[in-house]
Amino acid sequence: MHFDRYTVPLPAGSGPAVDDELIRLRAELAAEYDLREVAYRFGEDEFIFLSVRDSYALLDRISPEEFLKDEQMPYWAEIWPASVTLSRELMVSKELAGKSVLELGAGVGMASIAAARSGARVVSTDYSTEALKFVAYNALRNHVPLDTWRLDWRLVMGSEKFDAVIAADVLYERVNLLPIVTAIDALLTPGGIALIADPRRRMAEEFIELVHENGFRVSETRMRDAIADQTVAVTIYKLERIMA
């Protein structure tokens, strides 16, 4: 399995070395982006996440040639409601404590960081190297250790396996559905689980059909989450292999 690996320094309280690294990373990001910082509370824990103030402003960075090559949009720059719901559920349930976890399409790293705070050993992945810079900062800012890898979920090959795969709001384009299913299948240990949070898009129904066809059973947890000034409906799908 080929990844481009980035190492996030392991936090050690709030000492000078950590503070210096935060200042350096924040200055690097501020030189490229208009930033915003938002606080969240999941269970008994408080978090602060840095993201891009206006993700639409990043569209000007994508050349027509780049778009034709990958059709990649800057979805990573948003904090999506499904990520908030998944993060809260991970912190409350502690279901992944002690497990090895990989997040697909991590964006700015919210769910990865919540999983790590809950006691998981986390690898946070995204196709965008821009996103991984924010994951690194947010992990350090919230005092959690994790690794960040660049991963194209269309090209997952190799022998490295995880106890759990998590993802939030990744079922937005039909072309991605089968690659996500095959990536989950390739990444999970035989007894592993996947937790996929989705804001009840119609595309999720097609995803679940593919999941069943590829040897998984699915259970659903339907939730409503108060985010900002609105209530958002989110379903968390739990995928488990049907063992022979």
Dump pLDDT digits (tens) for 49-98: 999 987 655 656 655 555 445 556 678 888 999 999 999 999 999 999 99
Beta carbons of 223 and 234 less than 8 angstroms apart: yes
pLDDT for residue 2: 44
Q: What is the pLDDT of residues 110-125, one digit of tens each?
A: 999 999 999 999 999 9
Tokens 């919540």 correspond to 114
pLDDT for residue 9: 47
pLDDT for residue 189: 95
- Domains of the chain from N-terminus onward: 14-241 (3.40.50.150)
Q: Consecutive 10-residue runs of the chain (244 residues): their mean pLDDT?
A: 49 70 93 93 94 70 53 78 95 97 97 98 94 94 93 86 97 93 95 95 93 95 78 93 80
Q: Which residues sit opposite 217 in a β-bridge?
A: 240
In angstroms, the first-to-last Cα distance of the chain is: 26
Q: Which residues sit opposite 240 in a β-bridge?
A: 193, 217
* Among candidate residues 22, 212, 61, the one with its CA nearest the CA of residue 220: 212
* Among candidate residues 237, 227, 233, the one with its CA nearest the CA of residue 205: 237
Alpha-carbon span 42 to 84, nearest angstrom:
9
Alpha-carbon span 156 to 159, nearest angstrom:
10
pLDDT for residue 224: 83
Beta carbons of 194 and 239 less than 8 angstroms apart: yes
Which residues, including other chains, have CB under 8 Å from residue 35's CB and lie 6 or more apart? Answer: 29, 50, 51, 52, 53
Rg (CA), the chain: 17
